[in-house]
Amino acid sequence: MRRRTRITIGVVVVILLLLLVAFYLRMKAPPEAARLLPESDGIVYLNLRPIRTVTHFDQHPVTHDPDYQSFIDATGIQFERDLDEAAFALHRMPDPAGPNGLVAFSEVFVGHFDGRRLTHYLEGLSTSRENYAGHIIYSIPSDGRTVRVTLPGYDMVAVSNTPTSEQIHSILDRYRTAALPFAGSSLLTDHYEEVPLLSLAWGIGQIGLPFGDSGNVSIFGLKLPITFDSTFIASLRWTGSLRLRIEEIAPTEEAAASSADSLRMLLNFARNAEAAAPGITDAELRPLLDSIQIEHHRDRAVLHATVTPQLLERLVTPPGKMQAPLAPAGGSK
């Protein structure tokens, strides 16, 4: 009897250890939405569940343009209410003057979707369809590009506006192996372990591409002393306050030191301007500006800052008028 008891206890302990290991691996692994993204130059991920809880951005009244209202009526989806996670892959385009501009996107959205109604809507918009890996890919013309949309799972939508179907195919290929916690693109393999655990939002790679302006990164109209194709690791997480961390990976220690010095100079200029002319800085940006600290470690230039809930709410609240995510090529009918 004692021997059986020891065996039973041993089996239970082994099972518990395996469960703990599985839980640890799952916690350390990138979110599934990010793991499904194809190879790219940059990745941005948003966990909107806690952000929605903190900011209540879904409760702000929003005016919908006619196409977006038609989308809501047809699908029942309101992104500010129904979207839980969003992962974006940034693909640098060889021809910035092409229909995609400087960057194309592949996206995976997780949330609460009515698959039947969404499928019916996509069928009405698409000009062609492709059956790939047991899923239908809908091709929709938009502003000189082809937007491809598919539904990998009941709570998931994948979209890509890249010139070819390679990226949307890759998402579906990765979906078949989604249970593997450390599957994903080379960017995730190389850099995700440096993203702080439980980050609400994060980005890795060339995440400055969408803000590219003649070779520089421009945010809130301010040109930063870094190039748009620099490699970054950025994160936003809660540690008693919302902490923003942006780390530039420079090619050399000298380049990292130069970036840090340039950022300090720009920060001092902004602070001195505010001191000389109070009120010149947006009231919600001022606490962020005051909290910024810049460090240099070997080939890294690191910016730390505190984001107020009010500023986060402003950043994630939908604009006063929202446009349809997908609209007929000719606009509203």
Q: Which residues of 165-180 are buried (b: 16+ CB within 10 A; e: fewer)?
A: eebbbbbbebbeebee
Residue with the two structure tokens 């001195």: 272
Q: Domain limits of the chain?
A: 27-322
- The three-class DSSP label of residue 127 is coil
pTM for the whole thing? 0.84
Per-residue pLDDT tens over the stretch 21-61: 655 555 567 999 999 999 999 999 999 998 888 777 777 76
Q: Which residues of 189-206 are buried (b: 16+ CB within 10 A; e: fewer)?
A: eebbeebeeebbbbbbbb
Distance CA 175, CA 153 (A): 9
The pLDDT of residue 312 is 81
**Sheet with strand 222-227: strands edge to edge:** 212-213, 216-219, 222-227
Beta bridge partners of 56: none
- Residue 323 DSSP class: P
Over range 99-115, report the average pLDDT. Answer: 94
**pLDDT of 331 over the 50 cut:** no
Cβ contact 95:41 at 8 Å: no
Per-residue pLDDT tens over the stretch 118-153: 999 999 999 999 999 999 999 999 988 999 999 999
